[in-house]
Amino acid sequence: MKGLVVKNTGSWYQVFTEEKKYVDCKIKGNFRLKDIRSTNPVSVGDRVAIEINNEGTAFITEIEDRRNYIIRRSSNLSKQSHIIAANLDQALLIVTVNYPITTTTFIDRFLATSEAYSIPAVLVFNKIDRYRDDDREYLDALVNLYETIGYPCYKISAKKDEDLGVIKNLLIGKTTLFSGHSGVGKSTLINRLVPGLKLKTGEISEYHNKGIHTTTFSEMIAISEGGYIVDTPGIKGFGVFDMDEVEISHYFPEIFKFSHQCRFNNCTHRKEPDCAVLQAVEDAYISESRYRSYLSMIDDEKESKYREAY
């Protein structure tokens, strides 16, 4: 029997079968994916084969080849990864420039990982109804930066009906990952997009300006227009996994563009002579924030460690 993994609680999986039934499944003891050191060998979005024994217990026995997936370094085990979701058509990163703050380093790491695994990424800047003048100025600067690079950006308030239409249109017929920090409004936005769902939402700590986890497991939510929203727990940091320092520049489109003009083919754009990327940063063709994000990802791989602040 085959089906789609639509929920992962960490201890069991819910599979929607080809017979249109939901089946709760376990995985067998040492089930592991080839060549991927992952804390979760099965992910939401996986297409799997299952077997049901005489006692009525179901087991996942096989995972079909993935079209793509998005992955990050496990926050507890630096040499292992955590697969966020598989077989995606696009990823929406929900961002807030305040309440709580989303850093450009976090955004850039998410975008680079999406590039690495061939998943189109969209930035959705939420809570614009709460922003002060300086917040709005910074928001406009970020939108200008990322749209210039080529990433679609949307400015919304999840509480306003008029802002939901454009997001709904993005989702039709597609499997879309929703990701971002805790507290950025993912659950509120999904509740507005899927009436009657009633996902739990949380408040922001005014003292720390950080959100509190309300989503505790990953789940695929069917939408009436066709397609799925993949809802995942909020993430604090985004440690990159399995990228060597030469290829990281490939996942920053503007850096990759200038890298063709460097003197050395294996230029890492740090101290090498005649580096076109360093010159482009100096000339403001590449933003300093994006270049710093690039360097931080190289340091992740060189030092084999995960940095919570990112």
Most confidently modeled of 4-13, 22-31, 69-78, 133-142? 133-142
The C-alpha atoms of residue 130 and residue 23 are separated, in whole angstroms, by 42
Average pLDDT value for the chain: 85
Q: Which of 5-14, 45-54, 117-126 has the highest mean pLDDT?
A: 117-126
DSSP state letter for 129: G
Report the interhelical angle of 104-116 vs 133-149 (nearest 10°). Answer: 20
Residue 146: name the closest of 192, 189, 114 by CA. Answer: 114
Instruction: Note the pLDDT of residue 10.
Output: 78
- Report the first-to-last Cα separation within the chain, whole angstroms: 41
Q: Tell me phi and psi for residue 228, to 5 degrees.
A: -135, 145
pLDDT band at 161; cut points 50, 70, 90:
confident
pLDDT for 208 equals 43
At 118-142, the pLDDT tens digits run 999 999 999 999 999 999 999 999 9
pLDDT (0 to 100) of residue 80: 62
pLDDT of residue 254: 97
Residue 78 above 90 pLDDT? no
Residue 205 has pLDDT above 60, yes or no: no
Task: Mention every residue, 6+ apart, whose C-beta is less than 8 A from residue 58.
Answer: 15, 23, 24, 25, 26, 50, 51, 52
Where are the domain boundaries for CATH 1.10.40.50 in the chain?
A: 245-303
Out of 22-36, 161-175, 203-217, 235-249, the most confident range is 161-175
Question: Is-contact 44 86, C-beta < 8 A?
Answer: yes
Where exactly does CATH 3.40.50.300 map onto the chain?
A: 69-231
Q: What is the pLDDT of residue 23?
A: 93
pLDDT of residue 151: 98
Given a cut of 80, whether residue 309 has pLDDT beyond it is: no
Q: What percentage of the chain reaches a pLDDT higher than 70? A: 82
Phi, psi torsion values for 287, nearest 5 degrees: -70, 145
Predicted confidence (pLDDT) per residue in 136-160, tens digit: 999 999 999 999 999 999 999 998 8
pLDDT of residue 240: 61
284 pLDDT above the threshold of 60: yes
**CATH 2.40.50.140 residue ranges for the chain:** 2-63
pLDDT attached to residue 36:
53
CATH of domain 245-303: 1.10.40.50
Strands 218-222, 210-211: pairing kind: unpaired
Find the range with the poorest average confidence among 14-23, 121-130, 210-219.
210-219
Q: Which pLDDT does position 216 carry in this prediction?
A: 57
Task: Pick the closest to residue 248 from 303, 308, 293, 304 (CA basis).
Answer: 293
pLDDT at 243 (0 to 100): 74
Averaged pLDDT, 109-125: 94
Would you say residue 32 has pLDDT above 60? no
Say what the pLDDT of residue 71 is: 81
Classify 69-231 by CATH class.
alpha beta
Both tokens assigned to 129? 């109804």
pLDDT at 57: 80
Query: What residues pair up with 153 in beta bridges, in sequence order?
Result: 123
pTM for the whole structure: 0.86
What average pLDDT does the segment 238-264 reach?
85
- CATH 3.30.70.20 is right for the domain spanning 2-63: no
Contacts of 90 (CB under 8 A, 6+ apart): 119, 120, 121, 122, 170, 174, 175, 176, 177
Is the pLDDT assigned to residue 279 strictly greater than 80?
Answer: yes
